[in-house]
Amino acid sequence: MKAFKVLRYPFLVSVLLIIVGCDLSKVPIPVSFITLSDSQIELGVGEIFKLECVVSPYNADNKRIIWSSSNGAIASVNDGVVVGIKVGEAVITAKSDDGGKTAECIVTVKEQSSSGNSGNAGSDDNPSDGGNDDRLDMSAALDLSSKGTANCYIVSKTGIYKFKAVQGNANRSVGEVESCSVLWETFGTDVKPSVNDLISAVDFRDGYVAFSTPDSFKEGNAVIAARDAQGDILWSWHIWLVEDEIKSCTCVNDAGVLMDRNLGATSALPGSSSSFGLLYQWGRKDPFLGASEPDLIDDISEPAASTIEWPGYVISDSVYGTIDYATKHPTTYIVYGEVSDWDWLHIDNDKEPVRWQSEKTIYDPCPAGWKVADFDVWEKAGLSFDYEVEHDLYVEEDMGILLSNEYCTPSAWYPAAGYVYWDEDSMPIIEGCGNTGAYWSSTKDNLDNAYGMFFWSGMMMDGSWDNYSACSIRCQKI
């Protein structure tokens, strides 16, 4: 098992510095760099958009940001809130008061669309497009939520679709929706899609989010977000575009029924990167990009290409490490902080809000009728998790494990899709793709870890993993 936890003794550092005469209270922490949530956006005249600025390191003494626009007659900015004034282009600049570190966002202002839904091209929690000049025909839209609502909807062919704008599997409105748009699109490969390659238009009306696919259907994944009048994200949904049928694999010993592929995978083919799917931080409903392909030399893989430039990470604290922040910033990766040891969620006094459970919650990322798997489903099916014993399930040439009919029918492929790791000195990275499979369950081990099914080449273990990591999900039928 790969050791993730590193003993940290900050109090010893303090004692040593005091011994040698250093006064910690007088050592300033400067700003090293800043990042914006978006590098490029599109707005209609009169529309507003909220740019987020992340200051690094998170504990810098002076986090004040000075905002400016290269042309205030086209786009104005006030504390990160951008307003489209008239047609044209402007550059919004964020500058740190400490050190003058800068980050920019190009704003293109267009005529307001009749649908009222912005078609922004950018990164982080802001749409890559999805605006349209003509309203979608809601009467012609297939209701994906007619048999149950969820945070993920599966689409297998071209058409117009809609779903209720509610929180996951609850019949609870997400709030006052002003607009809806696409956050990002990906094929799950190293080929970067063009905007609208997977979803051509988005609309919102009468409590429903509607979208259409291009005439030429393409497989991949996308996320659609609903925003309020201030531009804040209220909720977001994963659209899983896959042509071939997603099959059910029935485990022996009445252990349960699992999908034949990872959540977000466009195939279940051994040896294919299309079987990798998406990665999830434990308890979060929104996906992160999986690997485009394995790298067995450096053990670090590039994420699949997408329509946006993904933002930097934030470190968990009472502001960033919350369910509310995660919901409003579905593409921002949250790493552990001083209080939230190994968890992205900042938990005070052991009072934790509901995230994932055996009974499906509103934050469960699986489609309707499915949930994040129970922690003991694989063991009940007969898998042995003695990590000191090398198993014959691992197929080295295809980089994964194949569960034969001895365990489930039909047989099921589990790729070594890797996981997201952070070492405190760099950006979060996808590690272990090609030799490590990390699959979450819905069950927590302790305050900052959760159970799952993990394998390292021929060794398997049903231990626990740090909650801040992003791992694969194999959904279980409810």
Strand partners, 259: 248
pLDDT computed for residue 253 by the predictor: 96
Residue 478 C-alpha from the chain's centroid? 23
Tell me the C-alpha distance between 160 and 152, whole Å: 16
What residue ranges of the chain have pLDDT lower than 70? 1-26, 112-134, 348-352, 387-390, 425, 462
d(C-alpha 190, C-alpha 187), whole Å: 8
Q: Which helix (H) or strand (E) holds 440?
A: strand 436-444
Tell me the residue length of the chain: 478
d(CA 230, CA 54): 19
- What is the reported pLDDT for 311? 80
Query: DSSP assignment, residue 15?
Result: H
Q: Would you tell me how many other CB atoms lie within 10 Å of the CB of residue 469? A: 27
Nearest to 124 by CA among 47, 230, 49: 49
Buried b or exposed e, range 99-126, using 16+ CB within 10 angstroms: eebebebbbbbbebbebbbbbbbbbbbb
Amino acid 69: pLDDT: 92
